[in-house]
Amino acid sequence: MTYVKRNLEKLIDDFLAIFPVVLIVGARQTGKTTLAKMCRPDWRYFDLEKGRDYHFITNDFDFFFREYPEHLIIDEAQECPQLFRELRGVIDADRQRKGRFILTGSSSPELLKEISDSLAGRVGILEIGTLKMNEQAGQPLSDFYQLFTRPLQRDGVDLLRQLSVLTDDCLDYFFRGGYPEPVILQSEAAYYAWMDSYYKTYISTDIRRLYPRLDSIKYRRFIGMLAGLSGTIVNKAQLGRSIDTSEVTVRDYLDIADKSFLWRLIPSYENSTTKSVVKMPKGIYRDSGLLHYLLNISSRDQMVQSPTVGQNFESFIIEEILKGMQATMIPKWDYYYYRTRNGAEIDLILEGSFGLLPIEIKFGASTSIKQLTSLRRFIKERDLPFGIVINNAEEVMLLSETIVQVPIGCI
């Protein structure tokens, strides 16, 4: 299969210069193994899902790490929680040595807990998503993310106005999503066969192994119904009634979907003087291709005419932006959405050392200033230098003194 250069490659190099261990986490089939091998092609590789490798490592940890004290890739590390405790001793025996191990892990809620308990301060953690648009197009990461390397000021508008559109037509990326293998497949039949297999494996193998007591039939129905709710606040009580289960169980299901990298929960922006702010999180499907598969949307025509195309596009853009942020060395940052009981809404808010940036997302090619009342008010109330609207336009444009239109192809 053709290798697609990933945005995270440089970040992995940077992290290996800082930490003894780098952990790459993400959903299955997002390219973790391929990325690790491409970054360090001469390192020894072991896969803990292979019985032989698992037995060799776990049979005698002391012997294994004496033979392989560095330059080691261990795949699917969540299969052996004891590995993290053993690694701690190996690392602490020579604490100043950096760049010794790359671990990968997927679909395991316990993985980060084990890492936190055993390797705190010794590991750099990177999350890999499905392919971002620029990766599929063979383009470098957009300069859009340079915006967040310093405090946001009015000169940020000048940076935005200099952005180039990386690709003319982004709707195909929106339609097909970003799982590497089906993206590369040329056959439409093969694409849908892969998606069908992936979904069934997620339900019947990954989730059943992690949660053996889970009612897999109800969870499958839940995942299917969740597809129609991407980009919205999920009414847990209503969803529970639909699948004949309790609100508590729905809450657990949402947590499972989030921690297995299928679904992303986006918290409400509550740092507000507005008392009417909605505090419930909203959620999005992380990959638009899988989302369209679950919605039985099998063509671009169906996609653009779907009644949920606006909220699905919003989910896609939010994930695109977060993938870009995760591929940078930007200091501590976080993401939110904003909604009040009066109907005012901001689709995405980024907050960090750079300040606060509100972002509205519109599917159309043009957006009138009348559609951006909530964004204008949010900017004015907080005295922000500017906000952004992302849509399917062809060029960066000032829509008002404080609102910049940025085409999807620029992010």
CA separation for the pair 350, 347 (Å, rounded): 10
pLDDT number for residue 146: 96
Helix (H) or strand (E) holding 334: strand 333-339
pLDDT number for residue 114: 77
> Lowest-pLDDT range, 5-14, 115-124, 151-160, 235-244?
115-124
> Lowest-pLDDT range, 37-51, 178-192, 226-240?
178-192
Q: Based on the domain organization, do 185 and 90 belong to the same domain?
A: no
Q: Is the pLDDT of residue 245 over 70?
A: yes
Summarised one tens digit per residue, pLDDT across range 274-325 is 668 888 899 999 999 999 999 999 999 999 999 999 999 999 999 999 999 9
For residue 272, what pLDDT band results from cuts at 50, 70 and 90? low
Q: Based on the domain organization, do 197 and 239 belong to the same domain?
A: yes
Count of CB atoms within 10 A of residue 171's CB?
15
Contact 152, 384 (CB under 8 A): yes
Q: Based on the domain organization, do 367 and 249 belong to the same domain?
A: yes
Closest CA to 358 of 342, 371, 374, 370: 374
- Classify residue 209 by burial, with Cβ atoms within 10 Å: 0-12, 13-18, 19+: exposed
CB under 8 Å to 209, separation ≥6 — which residues?
none
Q: Is the pLDDT of residue 251 over 60?
A: yes
> Lowest-pLDDT range, 126-135, 207-216, 239-248?
207-216
CA separation for the pair 380, 200 (Å, rounded): 48
Among 127, 152, 175, identify where a domain stops: 127
Query: What are the C-alpha distances in Å from 226 to residues 42, 223, 229, 253, 262?
Result: 42, 5, 5, 10, 11
CATH number at residue 101: 3.40.50.300
CB under 8 Å to 285, separation ≥6 — which residues?
226, 227, 230, 262, 263, 264, 291, 294, 315
Q: Is the pLDDT of residue 56 over 70?
A: yes
| Structural domain containing residue 75 | 9-127
Q: Based on the domain organization, do 275 and 315 belong to the same domain?
A: yes
Report the SS3 class of residue 202.
helix
For residue 3, what pLDDT band results from cuts at 50, 70 and 90? confident
Q: Based on the domain organization, do 262 and 216 belong to the same domain?
A: yes
Q: Is 381 within the bounds of a domain? A: yes
Percent of the chain at pLDDT exceeding 90: 81
Q: Based on the domain organization, do 72 and 181 belong to the same domain?
A: no
Q: Based on the domain organization, do 253 and 366 belong to the same domain?
A: yes
Q: Is the pLDDT of residue 397 over 70?
A: yes
Q: Based on the domain organization, do 383 and 260 belong to the same domain?
A: yes
Q: Is the pLDDT of residue 15 over 70?
A: yes
Q: Based on the domain organization, do 99 and 209 belong to the same domain?
A: no
Tokens of 401: 């003194």
Q: Is 191 within the bounds of a domain? A: yes
CA separation for the pair 142, 407 (Å, rounded): 12
Structural domains of the chain, count? 2
Among 78, 97, 127, identify where a domain stops: 127
CA separation for the pair 150, 129 (Å, rounded): 25
pTM given for the model: 0.94
Summarised one tens digit per residue, pLDDT across range 323-367 is 999 999 998 899 999 999 888 899 999 999 999 999 999 999 999
Summarised one tens digit per residue, pLDDT across range 63-112 is 999 999 999 999 999 889 899 999 999 999 999 999 999 999 986 666 77
Q: Based on the domain organization, do 95 and 139 belong to the same domain?
A: no
Strand 345-352 and strand 355-361: the pairing is antiparallel
Q: Is the pLDDT of residue 133 over 70?
A: yes
